[in-house]
Amino acid sequence: MKVLSVGSELYPLVKTGGLADVMGALPAALAPEGIAMRALIPGYPSVLAGLTKTQPALDIPALFGGDARIISAESQGLPLFVLDAPHLFARPGNPYLGPDGMDWPDNAQRFAALCRAAAMIAQGTVAGFAPDVVHAHDWQAGLLPAYLRFGERPAPPTVMTVHNLAYQGQFPAYLLGTLGLPARAFTIDGVEHYGAIGFLKAGMQLADAITTVSPSYAAEIATPEGGMGLDGLIRARASAMHGILNGLDTAVWNPATDAALAVQFTSRTLAGRAANKQALQARMGLDQDKAVLLFGLVSRLASQKGIDLVIETLPVIDALGAQLVVLGAGDPSIERALRAAVVMRPGRVAATIGFEEALAHLIQSGADAILVPSRFEPCGLTQLSAQRYGAIPVVARVGGLADTVIDANEVGLTAGVATGVQFAPVAADALALGLRRTAALFADKPAWRRMQRNAMALDVSWTQPARRYAALYRSLVN
């Protein structure tokens, strides 16, 4: 079976967050299921620079204001398609934002172009790859099911995956014609969303199946509190909705082979973590202290992620005598708040503002515990990598965090299965309690070791999730 996967990021070519990890890992994960998945992504400069074996696959003249073409290529042995449209994508930096930090004014056309190109592949226009199923990821690919539904040609079944309902891709209604959609598409059963064109809404409305990245998030977004204005649609389409947990690319995230680490280790050589902790403290200018409890946090800096709660809870981290290291980039106001908080605590709290893949790995290998205090979290990947690296995740009990961490409550500890600490509700005092519980566990070395081993023994790979996606694709084709 052939599947076309369409999205705006793909690790390692372009990444701002977890979407890239999933886009990058799914094709290899699905191969053992007999599924040949090929991704289509935009030809940003970093993408074009990272390709090998490039070949022209299809010319698309006059695609939203310029000539474009689909390139067939490989990235690290993985075959994929790239939409080369210099007038839309030959811009350095963040894929969505201009140098002023604002959305590119033509984002509607940029990602509609991605969907147009995907629709052409879906309709069998590219020789040698006529997909049996089309899989669209997030709002940037949301118009793909719409182009197929309102197109003239037969099209394969579609899956729309919501990695984050907070980003919906809303654009003014007057763009309908510009985007090549017929007037009849602009209804509540089509692309219309509160008087505008909703890219994600269109995809969720028109795809044959909808998935999101954890069962708990699937339930949360069906409620008015979690549905971000789309809960009505989600309830109406409940029978088409599936919650499929993300996996982790266990080749990229492998503490036994990870070149970003000072010392590689396994669950049998956990002592190796001490050298990584030392390296991390040195790199971040923290006091060299082997015994201290070191918290880590790796995140996009968005209000979703609850970084403000961590800042509010810094006095508790101080009181526990613990250290904190943060790696993140995003919202300038959160960046400023972090910088200000760090200045007050030299040697105890450190932050790197930026996006650094290797440092993310070093933090996972050297921090004792990883904080994930998200207000909502569709799945979350940093708690998965934490567990794989023997760092204890301290997570808000929401979405995929609730589904992937076994809390060290009485029954979890007694049964010997705990892998982390959950706290609820998502508020500073509950986080403070979670930090205190973590410190108490850290002081109990045998209990801590047990949790680390449990965490490292969890199967956080793509094996099970890939089976679920494969079963879903098959159900759509049959």
Residues that constitute the known binding site for ADP-alpha-D-glucose: 15
- Binding flags for ligand ADQ, 351-370, as an x/- string (CB under 6 A): ----xxx--x----------
- For ligand ADQ, which stretch binds (CB under 6 A), given 84-92, 234-242, 260-268, 376-384? 376-384
User: How far is it, in rounded angstroms, from Cα 280 to Cα 323?
Assistant: 11
Residue 259 has, within 13 A of its CA and on its CB side, a CA count of 3
Amino acid letter, residue 234? I
In the complex, minimum distance from the CB of residue 307 to ligand ADQ, in angstroms, rounded to a whole number: 11
User: How far is it, in rounded angstroms, from Cα 328 to Cα 340?
Assistant: 14
In the complex, minimum distance from the CB of residue 469 to ligand ADQ, in angstroms, rounded to a whole number: 12
Among 226, 306, 378, 420, binds ligand ADQ (CB under 6 A): 378
| Residue 84 found at the interface with ligand ADQ (CB under 6 A) | no
Contact by Cβ (8 Å): 185, 218: no
In the complex, minimum distance from the CB of residue 326 to ligand ADQ, in angstroms, rounded to a whole number: 9
Bridge partners, residue 42, by sequence:
83
Contact by Cβ (8 Å): 82, 52: no
CA-CA-CA-CA torsion sign (353, 356, 362, 364)? positive
Report the residue number, 7 or 198, with the smaller CB distance to ligand ADQ.
Answer: 7
- Specify the DSSP element, H or E, that contains 107: helix 107-122
Residue 16 has, within 13 A of its CA and on its CB side, a CA count of 16
Contact by Cβ (8 Å): 38, 81: yes
Among 3, 7, 21, 168, binds ligand ADQ (CB under 6 A): 21
| Residue 75 found at the interface with ligand ADQ (CB under 6 A) | no
Report the residue number, 200 or 439, with the smaller CB distance to ligand ADQ.
Answer: 200
User: How far is it, in rounded angstroms, from Cα 326 to Cα 338?
Assistant: 9
Q: b/e for 54-70, b at 16 or more Cβ within 10 A? A: eeebbebeebbeeebbb
In the complex, minimum distance from the CB of residue 445 to ligand ADQ, in angstroms, rounded to a whole number: 28
- For ligand ADQ, which stretch binds (CB under 6 A), given 185-193, 275-283, 371-379, 460-468? 371-379
Helix, coil or strand: residue 260: coil
Closest CA to 145 of 129, 130, 161: 161
In the complex, minimum distance from the CB of residue 204 to ligand ADQ, in angstroms, rounded to a whole number: 15
- For ligand ADQ, which stretch binds (CB under 6 A), given 147-155, 314-322, 335-343, 380-388? 380-388
- Binding flags for ligand ADQ, 162-181, as an x/- string (CB under 6 A): -xx-----------------
- Binding flags for ligand ADQ, 282-301, as an x/- string (CB under 6 A): ----------------xxx-
| Structure-token pair, residue 239 | 């029978």
Query: Residue ranges for the binding site?
Result: 15
CA 108 from centroid of its chain's CA atoms: 21
- Binding flags for ligand ADQ, 396-415, as an x/- string (CB under 6 A): ----x---------------
- Specify the DSSP element, H or E, that contains 193: strand 192-193
Among 1, 2, 17, 264, binds ligand ADQ (CB under 6 A): 17
Q: Which of residues 215-274 bind ligand ADQ (CB under 6 A)?
A: 246
- Angle 111-114-118 (CA atoms, 0-180°, nearest 5)? 145
Strand 78-84 relative to strand 158-162, pairing: unpaired
Among 109, 205, 382, 422, binds ligand ADQ (CB under 6 A): 382
| Residue 213 found at the interface with ligand ADQ (CB under 6 A) | yes
Strand order in the sheet with 209-212: 52-60, 68-75, 78-84, 36-42, 2-6, 133-137, 158-162, 209-212, 241-243
Amino acid letter, residue 300? R
In the complex, minimum distance from the CB of residue 160 to ligand ADQ, in angstroms, rounded to a whole number: 13
- For ligand ADQ, which stretch binds (CB under 6 A), given 18-26, 84-92, 442-450, 467-475? 18-26
Report the residue number, 186 or 355, with the smaller CB distance to ligand ADQ.
Answer: 355
Q: Which of residues 310-339 bind ligand ADQ (CB under 6 A)?
A: 327-329
In the complex, minimum distance from the CB of residue 330 to ligand ADQ, in angstroms, rounded to a whole number: 8
Strand 349-353 relative to strand 323-330, pairing: parallel
Report the residue number, 328 or 434, with the smaller CB distance to ligand ADQ.
Answer: 328
* Size of the residue set binding ligand ADQ (CB under 6 A): 26
Q: Which residues bind ligand ADQ (CB under 6 A)?
A: 17-19, 21-22, 163-164, 213, 246, 298-300, 327-329, 355-357, 360, 377-382, 400
